[in-house]
């Protein structure tokens, strides 16, 4: 019995750094969740361009052909054009309307960046799949 206690103590002592690290990550995740946007913040805006880009990226996930890749790039170009137009509007307006336009602009840019990240991940996965198929 005493030997078992010693084994367990050694086991947990050897895992102490991992447990500490897990505790730090867990508390960080809770802290970040608690510091997220308040419920009073407006919902992210959705434009035709963001929805189209989201759809094309999702389609690329299942059909990673060169044609679909071109469709995704075209959707990103349209989204970038929308962002550029909103940047011009934000510069040409003043006061509260400028602040609202800036908020929308920041939201669109964040959505674009997230979609671009998703697309990059999907391109990597498609390349990985093609490589595996070529090897086998």
Query: Is the Cα torsion angle 60, 61, 66, 69 positive or negative in sign?
Result: positive
41 domain-assigned: no
Q: What is the pLDDT of residues 78-121, one digit of tens each?
A: 999 999 998 998 888 888 888 888 899 999 999 999 999 999 99
Domain enclosing residue 125, as ranges: 48-135
Report the percent of the chain where pLDDT is more than 70.
Answer: 70
85 domain-assigned: yes
43 domain-assigned: no
The domain total for the chain is 2
For residues 8 and 68, membership in a common domain is answered with: no
Q: What is the pLDDT of residues 69-82, one digit of tens each?
A: 999 999 999 999 99
Name which residue leads in pLDDT, 76 or 129. 76
Nearest to 90 by CA among 117, 108, 71: 108
Residue 15 pLDDT exceeds 80: no
Predicted TM-score (pTM) of the model is 0.64
For residues 75 and 52, membership in a common domain is answered with: yes
H-run or E-run covering 83 = helix 66-92
């Amino acid at each position: 019995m005493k030997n078992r206690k010693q084994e367990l103590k050694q086991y947990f002592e050897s895992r102490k750094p991992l447990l500490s690290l897990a505790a730090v990550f867990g508390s960080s995740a809770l802290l970040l969740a608690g510091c997220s946007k308040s419920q009073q913040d407006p919902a992210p805006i959705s434009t035709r361009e963001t929805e189209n880009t989201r759809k094309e990226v999702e389609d690329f996930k299942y059909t990673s052909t060169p044609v679909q890749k071109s469709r995704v790039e075209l959707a990103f170009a349209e989204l970038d054009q929308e962002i550029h137009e909103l940047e011009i509007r934000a510069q040409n307006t003043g006061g509260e309307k400028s602040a609202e336009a800036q908020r929308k602009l920041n939201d669109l840019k964040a959505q674009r960046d997230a979609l671009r990240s998703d697309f990059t991940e999907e391109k990597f996965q498609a390349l990985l799949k093609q490589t595996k198929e070529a090897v086998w």
